[in-house]
A and B are shown apart, each in its own frame.
Chain A
């Protein structure tokens, strides 16, 4: 019995290792090729690079305008995430605490909207943004707040529903106004779900491509995903630079993952299960 257990565990462990290899294989291939010259890549994509040659990284770094692209990505991601967490928690709180027909209708509208694919509203949205002179970074942020609010409000709503209102009422009796009640009593209670919402926002905003490509695809404003297109023309693909650029674009994500892995895993699971 014991021996069987050990054999079973080792087989499972081997399967895990094998699968892990399959999952990181593309990253390894990119890393390998990012140190090769284009000629070396043509010779073989599987061989080890002749030397640790950082030329590709240097060139990709300047062509990506790496720091500026990262700054643009960060600007959008951080601003919208902060706004989303603040505004959606406020909105969800009043939607839960005011039990009126209006609040039910508004909440239903937010919930139903998660089914709407972007392509369905893309064209009228662009034309509307154009009319309002919102084809810009701030415009993109406003629209992203609107798109993100559906999911976030659902998550906050689900959580706040189960927070008893007594504490808030007690504070109100002591003379605190509603706004103060929210910021001093409610905000600390919903820290956990706020982290979940923030993580989900960061992930979708950092990787967003289509809407930014339609609104801020101008020199100096481009985010990291927009910039990577530079290396992959329709006819010429500079895979030596391209793989270096892809590695550089993936690095911030990996750093983020390693730093807040616990929160990410918790956030994603909660986001999926409760949403």
Chain B
């Protein structure tokens, strides 16, 4: 086929131009801005070297929200994927109505983060409180008034919302495992548990690679739920990095510093997710 350069650029143009506008140019100017005293209002800003980055590391709120975010990501990645894997095993057991259950478990994923956050704010604060009062379980009372309960509320919400999604990923992989492998293991005398551990689990590795990657990036980038569930409170103790960056820019007008935080955030997310991809990829076995 005669391939013309014109068609190449013509077909590429809409995506490429909007991509330049939305991602590439802001990314490059953003790197520059992170070395300036930009305040978002005045267009002229001076080069200040590494001052923003130094200030960022001295900022105790940023350090706290860094630690909070990392802890949140670690815990949520575990809860989401363990529950999701459990659900996937459960609904592939050929029980009555398993398709309906699948749909129900997945449904929260379609509801937007803003709505989910508001809804759960009501649940964990008011509903948990009255259940706690009724059953005399004090640990259910006064949620969102401490950092601890705010943290666990976020973990619960994210687990509720994301596990259905990851369940679908795991189901797809389970259905990919050929029955004859399991039968062969059974003939060789492997118990149900051994089949699970020695055959199913290793063959699930590709799905774990994807599942971990997706939950990790989604949890790092979480903003809407954080905003509408705890809004960072009490006193900024449940502020995730995304919100910390937002507030640095729009509440205190330190655009340069916020941009430096953005760059650090990108580097951290990229390093962690890419190294996760590489480590779990290594453990995948050939089918």
Where the two chains meet, the residues of A that have a C-beta atom closer than 8 Å to any C-beta of B are 9, 12-13, 15-16, 19-20, 23-27, 29-30, 33, 41, 44-46, 83, 87-88, 90-91, 93-95, 97-98, 103, 106, 109-110, 113, 115-125, 127-128, 132, 142-147, 149-150, 153, 165, 168-169, 172, 178-179, 181-182, 203, 206-210, 225, 228-229, 232, 234, 239, 242-243, 246, 249-250, 253-254, 256-257, 261, 264-265, 268-269, 272-273
Contact = CB atoms under 8 A, between A and B. Distances in A.
B20 interface: yes
B266 A113 contact: no
Contacts of A95: 12
B211 to A, nearest CB: 8
Contacts of A253: 110-112
A181 B111 CA distance: 39
A179 B3 CA distance: 11
A104 B175 CA distance: 34
Given A123-B255, A257-B107, A91 B29 contact: no
B44 interface: no
B122 A19 contact: no
Interface string B241-263: 11001100100000100110111
Contact of A117 (B20, B131, B221, B274): B221
Nearest to A141: B18
A143 B246 contact: no
Given A30-B122, A98-B8, A239-B126, A110 B115 contact: no
B246 A26 contact: no
B82 interface: no
Interface string B217-260: 10011011001100100000000011001100100000100110
Categorize the interface residue count of chain B: 35 or more
A143 B112 CA distance: 20
B104 interface: yes
B23 A91 contact: no
Interface in B1-20: 1-4, 7-8, 11-12, 14-20
Interface of B: 1-4, 7-8, 11-12, 14-27, 29-30, 33, 40, 87, 90-91, 93, 95-98, 101-115, 118-123, 126-127, 130-131, 134, 160, 164-165, 168-169, 171-172, 207, 210, 214, 217, 220-221, 223-224, 227-228, 231, 241-242, 245-246, 249, 255, 258-259, 261-263, 265-266, 269-270, 273-274
Nearest to B106: A265
Given A124-B26, A146-B20, A146-B22, A179 B220 contact: no
B30 A46 contact: no
A19 B172 contact: no
A27 B110 CA distance: 13
Given A20-B104, A23-B108, A98-B8, A115 B270 contact: yes
17 contacts: A19-B101, A29-B127, A30-B122, A88-B15, A115-B266, A117-B221, A123-B249, A128-B25, A145-B22, A169-B1, A182-B11, A208-B112, A209-B112, A210-B223, A232-B121, A232-B228, A239-B126
Contacts of B30: 120-121, 123-124
Nearest to A127: B40
B12 A272 contact: no
Given A113-B23, A124-B26, A143 B104 contact: no
A153 B40 CA distance: 33
B98 A264 contact: no
A145 B18 contact: yes
A116 B217 CA distance: 10
A210 B4 CA distance: 40
B273 A115 contact: yes
Contacts of B91: 16
Given A149-B15, A210-B223, A249-B115, A203 B127 contact: no
Nearest to B91: A16
